[in-house]
Amino acid sequence: MDNIDRQIINQLQDGFPVCPAPYQHAAQQLGISEAELLARLQALLADGTLSRFGPLYHAERVGGALTLAAVKVPLERYDEVTDIINAFPEVAHNYQRNHVLNMWFVLATETPAQLQQALADIEQQTGLPVYNMPKINEYFVGLRLEA
């Protein structure tokens, strides 16, 4: 990652233009060519520096449902339960965390009913209670990370 990559990351975290040739527009602001911006974005996505490039949707406003859930997984069953939970396409992210509640995942579905069904299926397939923690109120979602 060089200085141009850093500028791309720092300047393009929001406000990407909606116009016929948006990469050209953004490239001009960065002082590089459209082809170079496209190649650098491709490389930053390929090596995982960017996890995606595009619109970030607000799940509930687009009719979808989202929740955070946790499970207390016995250590001897950790790999098996990981496989069961990760197999659900509704599970967007899953993290091991240093707590008695040692597995935390985000479920995202297109409808609230699908979310409840996925939670019930996970409990049934793992035999473990799922601690469902849907947001009651949102105070902030954002943050620009400096590269």
Partner 1 sequence: MDATDLALMRATQAGLPLVPEPYQALAEQLGISAEQVMARLVAMQAAGSIRRIGAVPNHYKLGYRYNGMTVWNVPDVHVDALGAQIGQLPFVSHCYHRPRHLPEWPYNLFAMVHGKSLAEVDGQIAQISAVLGEFNLGGEVLYSTRILKKTGFRSG
Burial class (CB in 10 A: 0-12, 13-18, 19+), 134: middle
Q: Give whichever of 57 and 117 is closer to partner 1, judged by the CB atom.
A: 57
- Cα separation, 106 vs 98, whole angstroms: 17
> Least distance to partner 1 from the beta carbon of 117, Å?
18
Q: Are 1 and 49 in contact (CB under 8 A)?
A: yes
- Cα separation, 24 vs 145, whole angstroms: 24
Question: x/- string (CB under 8 A) for partner 1, residues 39-68?
Answer: --xx-xx-xxxxxxxxxxxxx-xxxx-x-x
13 contributes a contact to partner 1 by CB under 8 A: yes
- Cα separation, 84 vs 7, whole angstroms: 40
123 contributes a contact to partner 1 by CB under 8 A: no
- Among 4, 7, 23, 121, contact with partner 1 (rule: CB under 8 A): 23
Q: What part of residues 96-115 is at the interface with partner 1 (CB under 8 A)?
A: 96-101, 103-105, 108
31 contributes a contact to partner 1 by CB under 8 A: no
Longest dimension (CA), the chain: 56
77 contributes a contact to partner 1 by CB under 8 A: no
- Among 7, 84, 94, 121, contact with partner 1 (rule: CB under 8 A): 94
